[in-house]
């Protein structure tokens, strides 16, 4: 029984799932949190559902990878590491180089490293994990799955910026999007639920979490997406500003005596829900305090407003819409937020039945029976898309 490991590495976390393939059965899963910090946490969920947690100071990236494999053996999940025949890695930025997932070769690894300017917090560490797992599992086939590949064939009218064309030719200055692996899974799963080919559906998928993005699908392909050259653009997020007038950035840099990198850091880490509420980037905290804290309510209202604006513009681009799909942390669990978004889009035939919407983290159609537009909640599964690509490219 072949086993495939899905690796989803962030700047401070390492998430993983081990699948039995081709059955696509999850054998075990876990994550390492607070990497390179005091109180690093290693979590694993065993095949029988038992959860184990270990705490250790300053778990390094290399140690985290080694711990995943040693714990798989020590907990009896695998007898020999040779049972793991494939490893799939989520890579944020593939630029225009990677229009699909790719089997990792020395050339591919070099290209991933060279694309670091497009995702400086992610590509270098993800390339590092590729090298570590190549050392630890030398016989396993390794595949890179790119967040941006979904968007490489968007129409130029949607990915180009209205700046001198030579900047695109010389520097690759264009919209690349993000969360593509999540949007790809959700779009295909929604088509399965509705019993229609994806190519026949005009669909908008809403990946709403600490990072948020919205993607429009038409004719089976991504037509447009909210994130831009980097994941900073688009809708308001937990700590990211989303779209902002560049002149305001220059104005504030002068007033605050900040460099441009310092301003970008503020827009990435101190803005969004956190910046407006002055309390938290987490919508749950804001929902609990919105009655007594006007800034908490303002932040929530602004988030809904920005989401509605993008959905409305994409309905215009699509020439109508057949399905709206919520996913990711807030999309899957934000009962009130989903209702608020749908209520503001009611004139498009979008509606949510409050009784059907009263749940968190499950897969449901939440629109009323007979609704013109189907509205769904579909929990994302990036790891499943990763191992499917490993299976597709290595068998």
Q: 15: annotated binding-site residue?
A: yes
Which one from 147, 243, 322, 336 is the annotated catalytic residue? Answer: 147
Q: What is the secondary structure of 30-93 as a DSSP string?
A: EEEESTTSTTEEEEEE-TTS-EEEEEETT--HHHHHHHHHHHHHHTTS-SSGGGEEEEEEEES-
Please indicate whether residue 147 is annotated as part of the active site.
yes
Q: 134: annotated binding-site residue?
A: no
Contacts of 353 (CB under 8 A, 6+ apart): 366, 367, 368
Q: 195: annotated binding-site residue?
A: no
Closest CA to 5 of 61, 106, 78: 78
Q: 211: annotated binding-site residue?
A: yes
The torsion of the CA quartet 165, 166, 171, 177, rounded to 10 degrees, works out to 10
Q: At what angle do helices 294-318 and 335-344 cross, to 10 degrees?
A: 50
Closest CA to 101 of 395, 393, 382: 393
Separation between Cα atoms, residue 221 and residue 89, nearest integer Å:
23
Contacts of 162 (CB under 8 A, 6+ apart): none
Compute CA 218 distance to the chain's CA centroid, rounded to the nearest angstrom. 20
Q: 210: annotated binding-site residue?
A: yes
Phi first, then psi: give them for residue 253, nearest 5 degrees.
-60, -40
Token digits for 62?
């290399």
Q: Are strands 84-91 and 323-327 parallel, antiparallel or unpaired?
A: unpaired
Give the angle 123-240-284 at the CA atoms, nearest 5°. Answer: 115
Compute CA 24 distance to the chain's CA centroid, rounded to the nearest angstrom. 21
Q: 240: annotated binding-site residue?
A: no
Supply the Cα-derived Rg of the chain in whole angstroms.
Answer: 21
Q: 382: annotated binding-site residue?
A: yes
Q: 395: annotated binding-site residue?
A: no
Separation between Cα atoms, residue 344 and residue 350, nearest integer Å:
9
Helix, strand or coil, per DSSP, at residue 351: coil
Separation between Cα atoms, residue 87 and residue 387, nearest integer Å:
8
Q: Which residues are catalytic?
A: 147
- Which residues are annotated as part of the binding site? 8, 15, 90, 207-211, 282-284, 382
- Which residues are annotated as part of the binding site for ATP? 15, 207-211, 282-284
- Which residues are annotated as part of the binding site for Mg(2+)? 8, 382
């Amino acid at each position: 029984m072949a086993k495939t490991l899905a690796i989803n590495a962030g700047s401070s976390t390492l998430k993983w799932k081990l699948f039995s393939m081709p059955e696509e059965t999850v054998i075990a899963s876990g994550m390492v949190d607070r990497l390179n910090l005091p109180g690093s946490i290693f979590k694993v969920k065993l095949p029988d559902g038992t959860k184990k947690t270990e705490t250790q100071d300053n778990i390094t990236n290399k140690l985290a990878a080694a711990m995943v494999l040693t714990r798989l053996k020590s907990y009896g999940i695998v007898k020999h590491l040779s049972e793991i025949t494939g490893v799939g890695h989520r890579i944020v930025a593939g630029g225009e180089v990677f229009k699909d997932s790719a089997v990792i070769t020395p050339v591919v690894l070099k290209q991933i490293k060279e694309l670091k300017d497009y995702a400086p917090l992610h590509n270098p560490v993800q390339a590092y994990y590729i090298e570590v797992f190549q050392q630890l599992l030398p016989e396993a086939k390794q595949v890179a799955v790119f967040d941006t590949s979904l968007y490489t064939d968007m129409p130029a009218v949607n990915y180009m910026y209205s700046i001198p064309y030579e900047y695109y030719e010389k520097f690759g200055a264009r919209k690349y999007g993000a969360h593509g692996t999540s949007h790809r899974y959700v779009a295909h799963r929604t088509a399965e639920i509705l019993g229609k080919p994806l190519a026949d559906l005009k669909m908008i998928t809403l990946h709403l979490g600490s990072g948020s993005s919205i993607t429009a699908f038409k004719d089976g392909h991504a037509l447009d997406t909210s994130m831009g050259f980097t994941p900073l653009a688009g809708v308001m997020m937990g700590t990211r500003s989303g779209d902002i007038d560049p002149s305001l950035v220059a104005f504030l840099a002068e007033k605050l005596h900040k460099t441009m990198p310092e301003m970008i850091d503020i827009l990435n880490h101190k803005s969004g829900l956190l910046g407006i509420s002055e309390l938290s980037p987490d919508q749950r905290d804001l929902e609990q305090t919105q009655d007594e804290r006007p800034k908490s309510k303002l932040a929530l209202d602004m988030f809904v407003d920005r989401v509605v604006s993008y959905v409305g513009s994409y309905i215009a681009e699509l020439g109508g819409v057949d399905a709206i799909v919520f996913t990711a942390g807030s999309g899957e669990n934000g009962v009130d937020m989903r209702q608020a978004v749908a209520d503001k889009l009611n004139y498009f035939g979008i509606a949510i039945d409050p009784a059907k919407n009263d749940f968190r983290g499950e897969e449901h159609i939440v629109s009323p029976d007979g609704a013109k537009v189907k509205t769904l909640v579909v929990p994302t599964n990036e790891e499943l898309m990763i191992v499917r690509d490993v299976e597709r490219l290595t068998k």
